[in-house]
A and B are shown apart, each in its own frame.
Chain A
Amino acid sequence: MNGVHDMGGMDGFGKVEAEPNEPMFHTRWESRVLAMVRAMGAAGAFNIDTSRFFRESLPPHVYLSSSYYKKWLLGLEDNLIAKGFVSKAEVAKGHASEPAKPLKRGKFTAGDVERVMVRGKFGRDAQAPAKFKAGDRVRAKNIHPATHTRLPRYVRGHVGVVERDHGVHVYPDSAANEAGENPQWLYTVVFDGAELWGPDSDPTLKISIDAFEPYLEKA
């Protein structure tokens, strides 16, 4: 979706301000939000792509004015309500009043913690031969799906070169819609600064994205 989360190349957000000696969490609730998202994801309530899509779907003014973990909380509430794990009324009351919906992998307990401390596996077996190889010139398609995609706007329509092939991975554009993993080849594609930003671009700049095969066409 063409949302405000897709920020690459936007102007006007100001300087990068690093906080000296930044703590891992600024308040206790931030850590609870992170833990709830990880626990509910690991228990099978949603996949990582769905979780991202709910955060991207927050209204633009809410997205831009909320802290990182506030976005996570709002996305989590919307996600769990949409999937029927809780009702709006329960969230408002702060107490359960309706039966629970079974989780794919059951209740999350202390024994599951080690599992969430290693990132999931996204590599899959190939369904078809790769269409591209390192060195190929490719164009990022000019597509604008209204649903979740990992093709940032700033590369669409532009030509780059395939640098690396990462094998076949779960396709977020399908997984986010609960339409299955639909595994696709994944490539690192490199673009020259001037191709993306025009003649005034920094001449020493190259930018790469990791692009799923359906995002690309031969150039």
Chain B
Amino acid sequence: MELRVRALETVLSEKGYFDPAALDAIVQAYETKIGPHNGARVVAKAWSDPAFKRALLDDASEAVGTLGHVSRVGDHLVAVENTPARHNMVVCTLCSCYPWEMLGLPPVWYKAAPYRSRAVKDPRGVLKDFGVSLPKDTEIRVWDSTAETRFLVLPMRPEGTEGWSEDKLAELVTRDSMIGTGFPLKPGAPS
């Protein structure tokens, strides 16, 4: 694969379609600018600031755009809130749509057949693969990302975090808790 990829890159750069240094810059930007820390800051802010939480659930792109320190975000970001009555889970059955500006590039399992095929039919079985179980009567809402809307799960704030700063709260927010295949860490649990 390495050779085949290099061959294509050589042809395309010889034809003047891109500057190879610009490809380096793209890779570097993915490696340094995006990642679940962006989403974690948004979640921690929503846990701490009720007005921000309302704004986030109303129009997530706009609300996140007001946080200068978080990476720039595109249009059509939708935040969906977990409650004791409802758990949200995000999938893209058709390809790999994912809120990468908030969470970084998707992990391999998110893009692979087992998750894409089963999430919409047997989400509790999928959660079991992650070692996660929900109360029997909790509604499970699966969001299939079939358009250019992107979904970010707002998990429930863990108990025992009263008075915590946003920075400290953000450390509890895992990537999987923002996809809906996990929960935030509990205070005091090893990360």
Q: A6 interface residue, CB < 8 Å from B? A: yes
Least CB distance, B117 to chain A, in whole angstroms: 4
User: How many cross-chain pairs have Cβ atoms below 8 Å apart between A and B?
Assistant: 256
Residues of A within 8 A of B1 (CB): 27, 29, 70, 73
A109 touches B19 (CB 8 A): yes
Using Cβ atoms and an 8 Å threshold, which residues of chain B touch A86?
Answer: 8, 11-12, 15
Given A8-B144, A14-B114, A119-B74: A43 touches B11 (CB 8 Å cut-off): no
Known: A16-B115, A70-B1. A117 touches B27 (CB 8 A): no
Contacts A32-B9, A94-B10, A152-B144 given; does A8 touch B120 at CB 8 Å: yes
Q: Is there a chain B Cβ closer than 8 Å to A156's Cβ?
A: no
Which chain B residues numbered 22 to 42 have a C-beta less than 8 Å away from chain A?
22-27, 29-31, 33-34
The residue that B93 contacts in the complex, of A7, A22, A25, A85, with Cβ under 8 A, is A7
CB-CB contacts below 8 Å: B101-152 with A: 101, 104-105, 107-109, 111-124, 126, 129-130, 136-150
CB-based contact A100/B16 at 8 Å: yes
The chain B residues found within 8 Å of chain A, CB to CB, are 1-2, 4-12, 14-19, 21-27, 29-31, 33-34, 71-76, 91, 93-96, 100-101, 104-105, 107-109, 111-124, 126, 129-130, 136-150
9 A-B residue pairs with CB within 8 Å: A7-B94, A16-B130, A31-B27, A68-B96, A86-B15, A103-B17, A113-B25, A202-B124, A207-B144
17 extra interface residue pairs, beta carbon distance < 8 Å, beyond A35-B24, A39-B23, A196-B120: A6-B94, A8-B119, A16-B109, A17-B109, A39-B22, A43-B18, A77-B8, A86-B8, A95-B11, A107-B17, A113-B25, A117-B33, A117-B72, A154-B93, A188-B149, A190-B141, A207-B120
